[in-house]
């Protein structure tokens, strides 16, 4: 953390414990601002208290130890630091979190993932509005106090010179100030103005000196406002506030003005000193901030916060009377693939076109909002009708949305045919609910549609709520599965066509103390969606390397395969973690095979190939899992340093009597042979399947015909203890 001074550019303090977030923000801001970094709340406070007061703070909400809320609260309680604008940075999108931040004194929220243009716009606006207003107020107060003192001490009779010889130094400030300055006598006759007065108002000094202030075109001559201001000045000798004023040409503008009364030796007011600044730009910036607070910068639609506000009003209205409404979540299917294949700019064009089509298909009573990346929300206006009519109305609108959005669109010279998935919830539901409950119900319905059939429309029901609660509980339990030692590794043997064991695949199993054995089909997708699949991958890797270390001699040429998720493989530290794990166990990689899915190939191929070469250099082999079910392409296969293709069980099941199924397996086999790759066939369960596969040399068989997955300890015992010719896991 750098505690040096930054005189040339605004200083922004970045506070975040995630290096990747700091890197993105630094790359965005480093050319326009001086940056300081703190990786914890405590370090942020230490930096501010070290007399390096930043002009603005970007503050992460969720940090270990002292979180962003506590940091914000601490700074706002200190008069020395409470003026610093604080913008919270968070992945959360719920209004409750944002309201808490605003209550603590934050000026704005920026959501992850970052939109760089929005980050820049909001920072510039807040620096201009808050920084300049604070500086202006402070400068104006000091300036008019100094001038008032000089007016008072430098007077030579009632009409004598305003500035004495001792005040010549102050005259430089008077002349060069960016703020307009007016000095009048007690009757309001203007005695002096500075150059900034002319620049702001359009009046030259000779046009106003010795004229009454009231003669000018400004709001001070408005009776009601003038009375209020002058009463305050007569009582306290001071007034500061905002006014709408007029320039010489009649144009109105907002200004921040400070007026101070100057009294003579007998306590009578003899002069007034007024310091003011044109804050038109500040007001424009504030309007920009207000817009960005409630509206999406790309589509100009309401954002999540405004949608929730309107949804809350609708929920209350429906709860109080007989009106009914509906909330709909609309999500673009496979939008990530559009961004990755056509670029982010094309993705933005798609979002804009979708928002336009949605808006054109709605009445003025409906609210359309963009609440997340490619996710939109629609609120049907409340009407008096029965439940069935309510459902029919929502379904009719959802169907119309499908038709509108599925019309082809031309983006980046490409014709795109989109599909969208929708979740619908009716208002009111069967139970009392808040706006957040309603939105969550719609999102649950949408998630169910996404899982089961993309492009579908699903209505929320109470069963989904129960399922969501079960998913949440399972997610919480999964987070504790490793520390509570509930996970274990099973091994399923792999055989050559003669039945000899040539290796095994490591499979993760979860034995929950209350739920029993939890299916991988339930917890693996959950771990992927929750973002902790890498942790599970690394735990399995560690367990398998431990097995290899303890049984290197017995393993001989056998290899153990583990599955690697795409998100884990994509991590920057993937290779370094593999290397450190091998070093930890003091072994090489020649007993290890990593199984990767075809979906990796939609990532940047150069980066993928680089990592695969690094694995090959460690002696680790790579297998493409579930081959033929995803992004199969000969062009990428020829570029990849891999050793194995794994045929998915869905193709294996067609061997029994389906000629086309056999043709697919044969084709993959022949292609692999041409590329010098071996094939592993999953899901072999019958003698018919085995007999067919025995026609293909260099084939590895995996499935229940030979062996089921069994605990690693049992597999090792059966594999290395010469009891019989039975393979590990073979069912009698």
- Confirm if 463 and 430 have CB atoms less than 8 A apart: no
**Left, alpha or beta for 510 (phi > 0: left; psi -120 to 50: alpha)?**
beta
Rounded CA-CA distance 394/412 in Å is: 33
Domain ranges of the chain: 11-114, 133-283, 303-460, 528-704
Rounded CA-CA distance 45/65 in Å is: 13
522-531, 673-682, 710-719, range with the lowest pLDDT: 522-531
Tokens of 80: 């020395």
284 has a pLDDT exceeding 80? no
Q: Is 290 exposed, middle or buried (0-12, 13-18, 19+ CB in 10 A)?
A: exposed
Architecture per CATH, domain 133-283, reads as 2-Layer Sandwich (3.30)
Cis amide linkage into residue 105, ω under 30° from 0:
no
How many CA atoms, within 13 angstroms, populate the side-chain half-sphere of residue 516? 1
DSSP string, 414-443: EEE---EEEEEEEES-SS---HHHHHHHHH
Tell me the CA end-to-end span of the chain in Å, nearest whole number.
66
Mean pLDDT value across residues 611-634: 82
Rounded CA-CA distance 354/518 in Å is: 40
Q: Could you tell me the CATH superfamily of domain 11-114? A: Response regulator (3.40.50.2300)
Rounded CA-CA distance 491/719 in Å is: 11
Mean pLDDT value across residues 292-321: 86
Rounded CA-CA distance 362/330 in Å is: 14
How many CA atoms, within 13 angstroms, populate the side-chain half-sphere of residue 398? 27
Q: Could you tell me what percent of the chain has a pLDDT over 70?
A: 83
- Work out the pLDDT band at 31, boundaries 50, 70, 90: confident
pLDDT, one tens digit per residue, over 569-607 is 989 999 999 999 999 999 999 999 999 987 776 666 788
Residue 25 CB partners (closer than 8 Å, separation 6+): 14, 16, 58, 89, 114, 119
Tokens of 409: 């669109």
Measured CA to CA in angstroms, residue 121 lies from 28, 56, 134, 351 at distances of 11, 13, 20, 20
- At which residue do the structure tokens 């069935």 appear? 388
Beta strands in 565-721 (DSSP E): 592-597, 621-627, 644-647, 678-681, 699-701, 710-711
Where is pLDDT greater, at 409 or 242?
Answer: 409
pLDDT, one tens digit per residue, over 44-103 is 999 998 877 898 999 999 888 889 999 999 998 887 888 888 999 887 766 677 778 878
Tokens of 619: 């002696």
> Which pLDDT belongs to residue 171?
64
DSSP structural state of residue 630 = S
360-364, 575-579, 675-679, 716-720, range with the lowest pLDDT: 360-364
Closest CA to 180 of 253, 131, 100: 253
Mean pLDDT value across residues 402-420: 87
Rounded CA-CA distance 532/571 in Å is: 12
DSSP string, 129-191: IIIHHHHHHHHHHHHHHHHHHHHHHT--STTS-SS-GGGHHHHHHHHH-SSEEEEEETT-BEE
Mean pLDDT of the chain: 82
Radius of gyration of the chain (CA): 35
345 has a pLDDT exceeding 50? yes
> In terms of residues, how long is the chain?
732
Rounded CA-CA distance 645/668 in Å is: 8
Rounded CA-CA distance 169/179 in Å is: 17
Rounded CA-CA distance 637/645 in Å is: 10
- Confirm if 507 and 489 have CB atoms less than 8 A apart: yes
> Which pLDDT belongs to residue 390?
67
- Confirm if 143 and 157 have CB atoms less than 8 A apart: no
- Work out the pLDDT band at 7, boundaries 50, 70, 90: very low
> Which pLDDT belongs to residue 217?
58
Mean pLDDT value across residues 503-529: 91
78-92, 208-222, 358-372, range with the lowest pLDDT: 208-222
Strands 56-60 and 710-711: unpaired
Tokens of 291: 């817009």
Rounded CA-CA distance 248/145 in Å is: 27
Instruction: Report the top-level CATH class of 528-704.
Output: alpha beta
303-460 matches 528-704 in fold: no
470 has a pLDDT exceeding 60? yes
- At which residue do the structure tokens 């963009």 appear? 370
> Which pLDDT belongs to residue 601?
65
> Which pLDDT belongs to residue 170?
54
Assess if CATH 3.30.70.270 describes domain 303-460: yes
- Confirm if 96 and 436 have CB atoms less than 8 A apart: yes
Beta strands in 598-717 (DSSP E): 621-627, 644-647, 678-681, 699-701, 710-711
Among 118-132, 290-304, 507-521, 644-658, name the most confident range.
Answer: 507-521
- Confirm if 105 and 76 have CB atoms less than 8 A apart: yes
Closest CA to 451 of 437, 467, 439, 475: 467
Closest CA to 333 of 301, 375, 378: 375
pLDDT, one tens digit per residue, over 140-197 is 455 555 555 555 555 443 344 444 444 444 566 677 778 888 888 888 899 889 999 9
391 has a pLDDT exceeding 80? no
pLDDT, one tens digit per residue, over 690-724 is 988 888 888 999 999 999 999 999 999 888 776 44
> Which pLDDT belongs to residue 356?
92
Closest CA to 55 of 109, 146, 124: 124
> Which pLDDT belongs to residue 464?
54
209 has a pLDDT exceeding 60? yes
Mean pLDDT value across residues 601-620: 85
Q: Note the helical H segments in 177-321.
A: 195-201, 205-208, 223-236, 280-294, 304-320
Where is pLDDT greater, at 218 or 207?
Answer: 207
């Amino acid at each position: 953390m750098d505690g040096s001074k930054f005189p040339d550019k605004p200083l922004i303090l970045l506070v975040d414990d995630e290096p990747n977030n700091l890197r993105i923000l630094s790359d965005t801001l480093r050319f326009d601002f001086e940056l300081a970094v703190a990786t914890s709340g405590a370090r942020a406070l230490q930096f501010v208290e070290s007399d390096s007061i930043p002009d603005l703070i970007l503050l992460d909400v969720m940090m270990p130890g002292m979180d962003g809320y506590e940091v914000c609260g601490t700074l706002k309680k200190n008069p020395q630091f409470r003026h610093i604008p604080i913008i919270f940075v968070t992945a959360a999108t719920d209004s409750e979190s944002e309201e808490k931040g605003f209550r603590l004194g934050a000026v704005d929220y920026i959501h992850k993932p970052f939109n760089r243009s929005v980050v820049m716009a909001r920072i510039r606006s807040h620096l201009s509005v808050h920084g300049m207003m604070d500086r202006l107020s402070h400068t104006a107060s000091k300036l008019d106090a100094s001038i008032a003192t000089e007016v008072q001490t430098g007077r030579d009779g009632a009409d004598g010179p305003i500035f004495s010889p001792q005040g010549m130094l102050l005259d430089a400030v008077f002349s060069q100030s960016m703020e307009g300055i007016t000095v009048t006598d007690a009757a309001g006759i203007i005695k002096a103005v500075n150059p900034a007065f002319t620049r702001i108002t359009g009046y030259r000094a000779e046009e106003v000196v010795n004229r009454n202030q009231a003669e000018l075109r400004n709001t001070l001559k408005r009776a009601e406002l003038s009375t209020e201001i002058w009463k305050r000045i007569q009582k306290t000798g001071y007034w500061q506030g905002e006014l709408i004023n007029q320039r010489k040409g009649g144009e109105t503008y907002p200004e921040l003005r400070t007026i101070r009364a100057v009294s003579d030796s007998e306590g009578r007011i003899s002069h007034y000193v007024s310091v003011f600044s044109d804050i038109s730009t500040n007001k424009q910036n504030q309007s920009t901030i207000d817009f960005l607070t409630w509206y999406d910068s790309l589509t100009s639609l309401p954002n999540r916060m405004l949608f929730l506000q309107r949804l809350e009003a609708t929920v209350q209205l429906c709860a109080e009377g007989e009106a009914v409404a509906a909330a709909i979540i609309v999500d673009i299917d496979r939008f990530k693939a559009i961004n990755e294949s056509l670029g982010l700019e094309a993705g933005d064009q798609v979002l804009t076109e979708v928002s336009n089509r949605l808006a054109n298909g709605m009445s003025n009573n409906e609210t359309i909002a963009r609440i997340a990346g490619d996710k939109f929300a629609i609120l049907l206006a409340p009407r008096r009708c029965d439940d069935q009519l309510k459902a029919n109305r929502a379904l009719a609108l959802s169907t119309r949305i499908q038709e509108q959005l599925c019309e082809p669109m031309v983006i980046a010279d490409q014709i795109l045919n989109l599909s969208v998935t929708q979740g619908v919830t009716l208002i009111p539901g069967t139970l009392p609910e808040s706006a957040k409950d309603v939105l969550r119900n719609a999102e649950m319905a949408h998630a169910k549609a996404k899982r089961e059939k993309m492009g579908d429309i699903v209505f929320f029901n109470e069963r989904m709520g129960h399922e969501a609660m079960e998913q949440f509980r399972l997610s919480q339990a999964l987070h504790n599965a490793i520390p509570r030692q509930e996970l274990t590794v099973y091994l399923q043997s792999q055989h050559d066509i003669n039945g000899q064991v040539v290796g095994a695949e490591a499979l993760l199993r979860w034995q929950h103390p209350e739920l029993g054995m939890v299916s991988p089909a339930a917890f693996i997708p959950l771990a992927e969606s929750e973002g902790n699949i890498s942790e599970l991958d690394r735990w399995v890797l560690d367990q398998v390397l431990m097995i290899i270390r303890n049984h290197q001699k017995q393993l001989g040429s056998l290899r153990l395969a583990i599955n690697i998720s795409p998100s884990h493989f994509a991590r920057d530290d993937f290779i370094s973690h593999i290397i450190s794990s091998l070093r930890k166990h003091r072994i090489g990689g020649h007993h290890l095979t990593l199984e990767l899915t075809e979906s990796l190939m939609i990532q940047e191929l150069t980066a993928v190939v680089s990592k695969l070469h690094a694995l090959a250099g460690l002696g680790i082999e790579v297998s493409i899992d579930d081959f033929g079910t995803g992004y199969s392409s000969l062009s990428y296969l020829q570029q990849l340093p891999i050793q194995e293709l794994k045929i998915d069980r869905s193709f294996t099941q067609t061997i029994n009597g389906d000629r086309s199924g056999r043709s697919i397996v044969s084709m993959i086999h022949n292609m692999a042979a041409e590329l010098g790759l071996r094939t592993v066939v999953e899901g072999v369960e019958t003698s018919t399947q085995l007999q067919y596969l025995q026609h293909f040399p260099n084939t590895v068989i995996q499935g229940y015909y030979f062996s089921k997955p069994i605990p690693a300890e049992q597999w090792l015992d059966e594999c290395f203890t010469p009891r019989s010719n039975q393979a590990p896991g073979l069912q009698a």
